[in-house]
Chain A
């Protein structure tokens, strides 16, 4: 348990991704089974101990510490696990030896609502403050230490020098403490098999096209839809819907997950019905509509009827148990087209191909697609197999040109990691009316990339020399600098005072010579909304 609590403690104070990866990888190499498997499960949120709730901890504390002092402490610290770990009364007499992580997990799993009140204190008595913090975080399932499942898998791959795509693929059939996975990665045993489990297969990804031109004899073109990439898997009588990161989101979109009933793995874009993408009939709504459905644990009937979801399919990895990944794209595409007749048209449609004679014509079609809330064009090599990750030369994404507005720098905040001493996060605004008649600036967005290191130094100096106010880590500037801001789209949003929110805003150009009163007005930005 000590190694695990030291890991949790170190992760709390580590900002950089590489340093976090190293901490986790070092731990996974140095720690024996099954402790390291439990740790991995804890980091990826795969453990659940129903008997231990946040209220359980609060009750244990107020039996031991004056409730008023506990409440004052909890208010100050802002975290129940940390407050409890600091306030837990040290037991009298020599402490019993610390439990191993395995022992702690076994003990937590065995607890019931009744036994927890005596078993959990016994466990806490055997730990120091850091150990108590880690145990309570583990038990209540709220790590919140900035570790995504993806990061933990990458660290696992790094620790044992195996491909992260393989880790992703084998991971999903496994249960904590992942003995077979460690056996494979650390001891060279055979890879775990998952034929009868709805496993996630890592996605094939695309490179940006940049300035390359491709021959349409070799490449097929289709629209790049503005939804979220999903994989639908049916195996062993169960269907799961996976997001780009490999998270199981079946419960959020039950109407889609329930619509596939034979063994297959399909790749496509999750969208909500509407008229924006692909015309009035059978079209999709903008990303904003899809956002209403994302991240929900339960879905109401109203949600299902107001924002019905479907998948626009563009590839098939497995059909009827037959693995197609080695086949050429055009062969897979033909199989997918045949498959459509067997699929429920309410839950699925087919991503159409764009017919164009040559690249120039395709470029023109792409330009005209501006109004359709489409993200751009995908180019797929006709003879490409389906390979995990981003392989050069096979798939390209050709995003439409970004939208541009001129905004005024209003606030700047210090960055983190290697940018920790630099003002690198910029909030910018547009005029609410005519600036020459005293109109005010309203913040419309925030961006922290798009500029070079040299430009960052210049911007940092500008912020320091033009500060008019400070609010903790934030400085308000004298609003004397214009940014050309690039963004993919803009939507109505109640979260911002301007009523607008940009997608993927970035600093495209620093326009240090442009007078601020020539920056754009809110109306200009609002006219670009396509909701």
Chain B
């Protein structure tokens, strides 16, 4: 469960309640409620508050700000480019620098601050898409495919399954950048997070609820829902939906087929293979520790490139819905 920072006696992204937690971002598998004190960016704290009502003990830390912890440990939050408020955590202790990337990506994302490259001795990196088959195409390319499917089927709607925090808002923001300014219809489970993004300064345009729509209004529309609703009863009310899913896993055909997806959109909030390996090369740490994902292939790459590396094999982080 999480990473124990022993000299400061605190935890990064703990899975169980602890006295002092340092949180990288708001996804449920990294951010849980019930800690004594929670150090995180103001955006992450707002997201956690929305999900778990965790105002008590919240300690906001801005990007670039440094916090002094027990045992002469200093912690600095740096943008990770994963979702709104997501951060890497830089730990300094006895002249040594350790960076915990949390989840990250290197592609531009209109809904969050870009990843910041900082030097360190030990890099603790994620490896969700740590296999060389994972190379995400440019997001504009995937958004264009979504809009083309919509264009070609004016009587149907395109139903996009997307993770409720981050992915949904990013897809909406990218649709707006691509010039799609018509109403985008939401499953109820996405509404509060989209509103919070807007309150935190990420404009998402005209959003409406599917439950308020007349059936014909949804013809030719883009509808967003969490992945779990794609093939469930909820979607029966939609006009002959084209089932799409925005996820890095869509790169593999069989994964898309298992989900019953007709229009797989390869849109990921995680670094792909090239981003992961380039990041290690850029930061050039003395040692690389790989946390969750496909550690084996990352370790093999490090070995092939004469880099010292080890796997931490953290359990409990889920990546299925990215």
Interface of A, helix, strand, loop or mixed by DSSP = helix
B56 at interface, CB cutoff 8 A? no
Instruction: Specify the chain A residue showing the minimal Cβ separation from B234.
Output: A421
Q: How far is the CA of A69 from the CA of B301 in the complex (A)?
A: 8
Pick from A13, A73, A78, A420: contact of B132, CB under 8 Å: A73
In the complex, chain A residues whose CB is within 8 Å of the CB of B233: 421
B262 at interface, CB cutoff 8 A? yes
Q: Which one, B111-119, B187-195, B246-254, is touching chain A?
A: B246-254
Q: How far is the CA of A13 from the CA of B233 in the complex (A)?
A: 21
B300 at interface, CB cutoff 8 A? yes
In the complex, chain A residues whose CB is within 8 Å of the CB of B253: 12-13, 79, 82, 133
Q: How far is the CA of A15 from the CA of B261 in the complex (A)?
A: 9
Interface residues of B in 79-131 (CB under 8 A from A): 131
Are B231 and A13 in touch, CB under 8 angstroms?
no
Number of chain B residues close to chain A: CB under 8 A = 26
Q: A86-B133, A86-B251, A421-B233 are in contact. Are A72 and B260 (CB under 8 A)?
A: no
Q: How far is the CA of A133 from the CA of B251 in the complex (A)?
A: 12
A83 at interface, CB cutoff 8 A? yes
Interface residues of A in 5-20 (CB under 8 A from B): 12-15
Are A420 and B231 in touch, CB under 8 angstroms?
yes
In the complex, chain A residues whose CB is within 8 Å of the CB of B131: 69, 72-73, 76
B271 at interface, CB cutoff 8 A? no
B236 at interface, CB cutoff 8 A? yes
Are A77 and B262 in touch, CB under 8 angstroms?
no
Total of A-B residue pairs, C-beta within 8 Å:
62
Min distance, Cβ B149 to any Cβ of chain A, angstroms: 11
A65 at interface, CB cutoff 8 A? yes
In the complex, chain A residues whose CB is within 8 Å of the CB of B252: 76-77, 82, 86
Q: A15-B260, A78-B254, A86-B251 are in contact. Are A72 and B231 (CB under 8 A)?
A: no
B199 at interface, CB cutoff 8 A? no
Min distance, Cβ A62 to any Cβ of chain B, angstroms: 13
Are A414 and B300 in touch, CB under 8 angstroms?
no
B208 at interface, CB cutoff 8 A? no
Interface residues of B in 181-221 (CB under 8 A from A): none
Pick from A14, A66, A421: contact of B304, CB under 8 Å: A66
Are A13 and B133 in touch, CB under 8 angstroms?
no
Q: How far is the CA of A77 from the CA of B133 in the complex (A)?
A: 8
Q: A13-B263, A77-B133 are in contact. Are A421 and B256 (CB under 8 A)?
A: no
A217 at interface, CB cutoff 8 A? no
Q: Interface readout for B11-53 with A: 1 if CB under 8 Å, 0 if not? A: 0000000000000000000000000000000000000000000
In the complex, chain B residues whose CB is within 8 Å of the CB of A14: 262
Q: How far is the CA of A72 from the CA of B301 in the complex (A)?
A: 12
Instruction: Specify the chain B residue showing the minimal Cβ separation from A68.
Output: B300
Q: Interface readout for B236-277 with A: 1 if CB under 8 Å, 0 if not? A: 100000000000000111101100111110000000000000
A405 at interface, CB cutoff 8 A? no
Min distance, Cβ A300 to any Cβ of chain B, angstroms: 35
A416 at interface, CB cutoff 8 A? yes
B74 at interface, CB cutoff 8 A? no
B176 at interface, CB cutoff 8 A? no
Q: Interface readout for A72-98 with B: 1 if CB under 8 Å, 0 if not? A: 110011110011001100000000000
Q: Interface readout for B303-315 with A: 1 if CB under 8 Å, 0 if not? A: 0100000000000
Q: How far is the CA of A165 from the CA of B97 in the complex (A)?
A: 75
Min distance, Cβ A364 to any Cβ of chain B, angstroms: 49
Q: How far is the CA of A76 from the CA of B128 in the complex (A)?
A: 13
Residue among B132, B135, B264 with the highest chain A CB neighbour number at 10 A = B132
In the complex, chain A residues whose CB is within 8 Å of the CB of B135: 86
Instruction: Specify the chain A residue showing the minimal Cβ separation from B254.
Output: A78
In the complex, chain A residues whose CB is within 8 Å of the CB of B279: none
Are A420 and B262 in touch, CB under 8 angstroms?
no
Q: A12-B253, A65-B132, A69-B132 are in contact. Are A76 and B264 (CB under 8 A)?
A: no
Min distance, Cβ A413 to any Cβ of chain B, angstroms: 12
Q: A86-B135, A421-B232 are in contact. Are A72 and B257 (CB under 8 A)?
A: no
Pick from B231, B261, B264: contact of A414, CB under 8 Å: B231
In the complex, chain A residues whose CB is within 8 Å of the CB of B262: 13-15
Q: How far is the CA of A130 from the CA of B114 in the complex (A)?
A: 31
Are B300 and A76 in touch, CB under 8 angstroms?
no
Min distance, Cβ B290 to any Cβ of chain A, angstroms: 13
Instruction: Specify the chain B residue showing the minimal Cβ separation from A78.
Output: B254
Q: How far is the CA of A69 from the CA of B277 in the complex (A)?
A: 13
In the complex, chain B residues whose CB is within 8 Å of the CB of A420: 231, 260
Instruction: Specify the chain B residue showing the minimal Cβ separation from A9.
Output: B253
Min distance, Cβ A10 to any Cβ of chain B, angstroms: 9
Instruction: Specify the chain A residue showing the minimal Cβ separation from B243.
Output: A420
Q: How far is the CA of A434 from the CA of B297 in the complex (A)?
A: 54
Min distance, Cβ A86 to any Cβ of chain B, angstroms: 4
Are A416 and B260 in touch, CB under 8 angstroms?
yes
B235 at interface, CB cutoff 8 A? yes
Q: How far is the CA of A87 from the CA of B133 in the complex (A)?
A: 5
Min distance, Cβ B60 to any Cβ of chain A, angstroms: 39
In the complex, chain A residues whose CB is within 8 Å of the CB of B236: 421
Are A83 and B133 in touch, CB under 8 angstroms?
yes
B319 at interface, CB cutoff 8 A? no
Q: A79-B254, A421-B232 are in contact. Are A73 and B263 (CB under 8 A)?
A: no
Q: Interface readout for A84-126 with B: 1 if CB under 8 Å, 0 if not? A: 0011000000000000000000000000000000000000000
In the complex, chain B residues whose CB is within 8 Å of the CB of A73: 131-133, 297
Q: Interface readout for B126-146 with A: 1 if CB under 8 Å, 0 if not? A: 000001110100000000000
In the complex, chain B residues whose CB is within 8 Å of the CB of A77: 133, 252, 254
Q: A76-B131, A83-B133 are in contact. Are A69 and B297 (CB under 8 A)?
A: yes
Interface residues of A in 31-75 (CB under 8 A from B): 65-66, 68-69, 72-73
Instruction: Specify the chain A residue showing the minimal Cβ separation from B233.
Output: A421
Residue among A76, A82, A133 with the highest chain B CB neighbour number at 10 A = A76
Q: How far is the CA of A420 from the CA of B229 in the complex (A)?
A: 12
Min distance, Cβ B21 to any Cβ of chain A, angstroms: 31
B296 at interface, CB cutoff 8 A? yes
Instruction: Specify the chain A residue showing the minimal Cβ separation from B232.
Output: A421
In the complex, chain A residues whose CB is within 8 Å of the CB of B261: 13
Q: A13-B262, A86-B251, A416-B260 are in contact. Are A421 and B132 (CB under 8 A)?
A: no
Counting from the closest, the 7 A-B pairs by CB-CB distance are A86-B133, A73-B133, A72-B297, A68-B300, A13-B262, A420-B231, A73-B131
Q: Could you list 20 examples of A-B contacts with CB < 8 Å?
A: A12-B257, A13-B262, A13-B264, A15-B260, A69-B297, A72-B131, A72-B294, A72-B300, A76-B131, A76-B133, A77-B133, A77-B254, A78-B254, A79-B253, A83-B133, A86-B132, A86-B252, A414-B231, A421-B231, A421-B233
Interface residues of A (CB under 8 A from B): 12-15, 65-66, 68-69, 72-73, 76-79, 82-83, 86-87, 133, 414, 416, 420-421
Interface residues of B (CB under 8 A from A): 131-133, 135, 231-233, 235-236, 251-254, 256-257, 260-264, 294, 296-297, 300-301, 304
Q: A77-B254, A86-B133 are in contact. List 4 more A-B contacts (CB 8 A).
A: A73-B133, A87-B132, A87-B133, A421-B236
